Amino acid sequence: LSASPPVVLLLLSLLGLAAAGKLLVVPVDGSHWLSMRELLDLLQQKGHEVVVVAPKVSLHIKPSKTIVMKTYPVPFTQEEMDKVFKGSIMDLFKGGPFLERVIRQYQQAKKTSALFLATCTHLIHNKELLSYLEESRFDAILTDPILPCGAIVAKYLSLPSIYFLQQIPCGLEYQATQCPNPPSYVPRVFTELTDHMTFLQRVKNMLYDIPNFFLCDVVFQPYAELASEFLEREVTVPDLLRQASIWLVKLDFVLHFPKPLMPNMVLISGVNCAYKKLSQ
């Protein structure tokens, strides 16, 4: 306020420019992209520059008139990708004993994780694309941390990270943020329990966590090895996820059981819903 009037006028004129930012987006394919795309449309309407980095072969991430997209080649065809994902979807509708379901999930996790890992590998080893990202000088990166490829890119470019997610397998979001996640209070996935449990239900809740450790090794350990090689220093997946500035969590405190949250974890809810009028 003590500055001269011309200086104050100049600063006020720059506020409009400062309101818009340059955002790099590294999405995850499938339903994760469908809700993120709606958010990107809103950001562009508000004047932000949004650039999406995606593989040439994908389920739903396709070029459009409203989205600036940089694509890169991957070592599989559209038919091969469709086959893997159709198998995973069909497996979700199969019943069976708990152990049998765990084994099936393990096998499907190996197939899908190998495909996504190949996608990430070809992204971070694409020197031409990385040079473009470095020269573009983005303000921040928006990514879905269910797969940490975007987190690796953010670490490499030293960009502030915004995470857009519902949840991460094995509760890695709790480990990365040091958020409490007690099995005596927070119900685990597939347990069909509530946040009010008897002693035996708490035991069941804790036991359901055990297979997650094996599933997480299959899915996430290769990313830790890939990141360590690429960044030329030893890192773990929680290390990569820990750099997030804010976690935009697609949950609703009304529709989900209460659980601990850290200050940078924000419930945004509603983004998974399609805004369409339903017929009778």
CATH code (residue 229): 3.40.50.2000
Nearest-angstrom CA–CA distance, 96 and 105? 12
Residue 8's pLDDT band (cuts 50, 70, 90): very low
Nearest-angstrom CA–CA distance, 206 and 163? 27
Nearest-angstrom CA–CA distance, 31 and 138? 26
Asked if 187 contacts 252 with a C-beta cutoff of 8 angstroms, the reply is no
φ and ψ at 64, to 5 degrees? -150, 170
Range of the domain at 113: 19-180+218-267
Mapping DSSP to helix (H, G, I), strand (E, B) and coil, where does residue 245 land? Answer: strand
The two tokens of residue 182 are 């007690």
Confirm whether 24 is domain-assigned.
yes
pLDDT score of 13: 46
Mapping DSSP to helix (H, G, I), strand (E, B) and coil, where does residue 109 land? Answer: helix
φ and ψ at 230, to 5 degrees? -70, -40
Handedness of CA 175, 182, 267, 215 (dihedral sign): positive
Number of domains in the chain: 1
Nearest-angstrom CA–CA distance, 221 and 190? 23
pLDDT digits (tens, 9 = 90+) for 73-100: 999 888 888 888 777 777 777 777 877 7
With 90 as the cut, is the pLDDT of residue 12 above it?
no
Can you name the residues that pair with 69 across neighbouring β-strands? 52
Confirm whether 12 is domain-assigned.
no
State the average pLDDT over residues 8-31: 68
Confirm whether 77 is domain-assigned.
yes
With 90 as the cut, is the pLDDT of residue 141 above it?
yes
| Exposed e or buried b per residue across 115-151, where buried means at least 16 C-beta atoms within 10 angstroms of its C-beta | bbbebbbbbbebeebbeebeeeebebbbbbbbbbbbb
Confirm whether 25 is domain-assigned.
yes
Confirm whether 244 is domain-assigned.
yes
Question: Which of 151, 162, 148, 149 is closest to 50 using CA atoms?
Answer: 162
State the average pLDDT over residues 97-110: 77
% of the chain exceeding 70 in pLDDT: 89
Phi-psi region of 30 (alpha: psi -120 to 50; beta: other; left: phi over 0): left
- What's the whole-number average pLDDT of the chain? 84
pLDDT score of 100: 79
pLDDT score of 150: 95
Residue 268's pLDDT band (cuts 50, 70, 90): confident
pLDDT score of 80: 85
At which residue do the structure tokens 């960044």 appear? 231
pLDDT score of 217: 78
Question: Which of 178, 180, 163 is closest to 248 using CA atoms?
Answer: 163
Confirm whether 80 is domain-assigned.
yes
Confirm whether 133 is domain-assigned.
yes
State the average pLDDT over residues 159-186: 90
pLDDT digits (tens, 9 = 90+) for 188-220: 877 888 888 999 999 998 888 887 777 777 778
Nearest-angstrom CA–CA distance, 81 and 29? 11
With 90 as the cut, is the pLDDT of residue 258 above it?
no
Q: Do the strands 140-143 and 68-72 form a parallel or antiparallel pair, or are they unpaired?
A: unpaired
Confirm whether 7 is domain-assigned.
no
Mapping DSSP to helix (H, G, I), strand (E, B) and coil, where does residue 79 land? Answer: helix
pLDDT score of 56: 92
Can you name the residues that pair with 49 across neighbouring β-strands? 22
Lowest model confidence (mean pLDDT) among 24-28, 72-76, 276-280? 276-280
State the average pLDDT over residues 16-26: 77
Question: Which of 186, 180, 147 is closest to 164 using CA atoms?
Answer: 147
